[in-house]
Amino acid sequence: MLKIEKNELCTGCGACKNICKQNAISIIEDEEGFLKPLVDHYKCINCSLCDNICPIFNYKSSNTKNPKSFLFMNKDKIEKEKSSSGAFFPLIAKYIIEQNGIVFGVIWDENIKAIQASAQNFDELEKMRGSKYVQADTKSTFKEVQYFLDKGKVVLYSGTPCQIAGLKSFLKKDYQNLITIDLICHGVPSRKIFEYYKKMFLKQKRDNTKIININMRPKPVKFEYIHYWKIETLLKTYKISMQKNPFVLTFLYNLNLNKSCINCRFNCLPRVGDITIGDFNGVEYFENNLKVEDGVSVILLNNKKGERFYEEISKQQISKEVPFEKVVRYNLNIVEATRPHEKRDAFFKNFLLKEQSMEDFAKRYIKIYPFEIIYIYKRLPNFIKKIIKKILAKND
C-alpha cells in the first residue's frame, strides 16, 4: 500500500514506480495535470518497497549546509548562445560522454511533452539543451541509472531537487560513479495546462500543423531580452512575448504550480544534488558589467564529489567564488519553497471547468505590469520586493 498516493506532498518523482517489482504502480496525470502514482491493488502484494523508498518519508541529505558557491560562464560563445544560462550543463555533460559515460536530462518527446531520457553521444545530448518549464516524467530512468552504475559506467543525472531525492532514495547507496545535479527550482507547472496552451496556440495562429519544438529561453540578440518563447511548427517559427503568454504568466505568478512545490521539502539546505545550478539572479551586484541575460550561472558545490568534478571541468572557464549568503539573498529558492498565489485553488477549479480562455484567466487573476517595471523589479533585493508586495496588498 502506497502511503503517498493521493497525498499533496507527492512530487511524482517516480521512485515508487521504479522500485515496484509487481509493476503495480503507474505514474499518471491527476485532475490538475500533475504526475502522481496510481496503484493497481489487484497487483499490489503489500511488500512496502514503495513506502520504504519514498523520498518524502525517507530521504535525508548528507550534504553540507555551507556549500561553496561560484559565478560561472562558459567561454565557448556558441555553447553559451545555445544554452539557457551559463552553459555549465553542456560542459559537464560532454565531459561525461567523453569518459564513455551516460547523461540523463530532460528532453521533449515527439508530442512536446517533457520526459527524462538518457544520452550516450553528442547528438542525443543536443535534445537536452534549453530549459523546459513543465513537470518532466522520469519514466524508468532510475532503473536505467542503476543498471549503468552497476556496469561501472560514469552517470550524470540532472533534474529537479525532488527527482534527485527520488533517485538517491531508489538507489539506497552513494555510488562514486554517479554525479547528480539539482536545479534551483521555482516549481513545476501543470502538464494539463501546458497541453491546453499548445492547443489554443495553434488554434489562434490558424496553424493546422503540429508543434515540433519549443525554446523557452532563447538568448538575447542585440537589443532583445530573453523574455519570449520560440515555438516551431511544421509551418513556421513564432516568437511569443512572455508578457503575452498566459502559460508563462500563470507560472511566474505561481498560479499553476504543483501543491507539492508549494510544500517542497527539497528546496532547502542541505541541497540534495552533488552540484546545484541555476540562473545567477542578482549577478549585477557582484559584477557590475554582467547581468543574468548575458548567460551567467550560479553553481553550488554541496559535497566533496561535487567539488572534484567542478575543479576538473571548470578549468579554462570563467569561474569566481562568491559569498554564499549573498547568493541566497537573490535566489531564495535555494533555501525555501515558492509561495503560492492566494487564488491558486480557485484558478484550477475554474480552469478545469473551462469557463474562459487562458488569456482571460491570466487577466482575471494577474495584474499585468509593463515589461520595464517587471525587468527592474526582478533585480531588486528580496527585502525591497517584500515591502512592495505588502504595499500592493494593502491597496487591493
Which of 106-120, 153-167, 379-393 bottoms out in mean pLDDT, i.e. has the lowest? 379-393
β partners of residue 105? 117
Q: Is the pLDDT of residue 46 over 60?
A: yes
- The mean per-residue pLDDT over the stretch 58-76 comes to 94
d(CA 92, CA 31) in angstroms, rounded, equals 37
Q: Residue 379 has what pLDDT? A: 64
Condensed to tens digits (0 to 9), the pLDDT of residues 109-130 reads: 999 999 999 999 999 999 999 8
Contact 314, 334 (CB under 8 A): no
Q: Could you report the per-residue pLDDT of 169-204, keeping only the tens digit for each?
A: 999 999 999 999 999 999 999 999 999 999 999 999
pLDDT score of 366 more than 90:
no
Which residue did the predictor score with more confidence, 22 or 358? Answer: 22
Specify the pLDDT at position 370.
Answer: 59
Span 336-364, mean pLDDT? Answer: 82
In this structure, the strands spanning 237-241 and 275-279 are unpaired
Residue 223: the pLDDT is 42
Q: At which residue does the C-alpha cell 505514474 appear?
A: 27
Strands 114-119 and 68-73: unpaired
pLDDT confidence bin for 159, thresholds 50/70/90: very high
135-163 mean pLDDT: 98
Cα–Cα distance list, 4 to 15, 131, 268, 301 (Å): 11, 28, 21, 31
Confidence of residue 154 (pLDDT cuts 50, 70, 90): very high
- The more confident residue out of 156 and 224 is 156
- Which of helix, strand or coil describes residue 229? strand
Cα(36)–Cα(28) distance, integer angstroms: 6
User: What's the CATH fold of domain 15-58?
Assistant: Alpha-Beta Plaits (3.30.70)
**Does pLDDT of 261 surpass 70?**
yes
DSSP label at 137? Answer: B
Provide the pLDDT for residue 225: 47
Beta strands in 133-289 (DSSP E): 155-159, 178-183, 211-215, 228-233, 237-241, 275-279
Computed over every residue of the chain, the mean pLDDT equals 89
pLDDT in tens, 320-329: 999 999 899 9
- H/E element holding 117? strand 114-119
Domain boundaries, the chain: 15-58, 63-365
The amino acid present at 207, given as its one-letter code, is D
**Average confidence (pLDDT) over 198-221:** 90
Confidence of residue 222 (pLDDT cuts 50, 70, 90): very low
Q: Which residues contact 177 (CB under 8 A, 6 or more apart)?
A: 101, 149, 152, 153, 154, 155
Distance CA 267, CA 129 (A): 23
pLDDT interval class at 51 (50, 70, 90) = very high
The CA-to-CA distance between both ends of the chain, in Å, stands at 46
Nearest to 228 by CA among 236, 237, 10, 219: 219
Confidence of residue 218 (pLDDT cuts 50, 70, 90): confident
User: Considering all CA atoms of the chain, what is the largest pairwise distance in Å, rounded to the nearest integer?
Assistant: 62
What is the model's pLDDT at position 368? 64
Query: Is residue 166 predicted with pLDDT exceeding 50?
Result: yes
Q: At what angle do helices 141-150 and 161-171 cross, to 10 degrees?
A: 50
Cβ atoms 106, 116 nearer than 8 A: yes
Do 276 and 324 form a contact (C-beta atoms < 8 A)? Answer: no
> Can you give the pLDDT at residue 235?
96
Residue burial 315-324, b: 16+ Cβ < 10 Å; e: rest: eebebeebeb
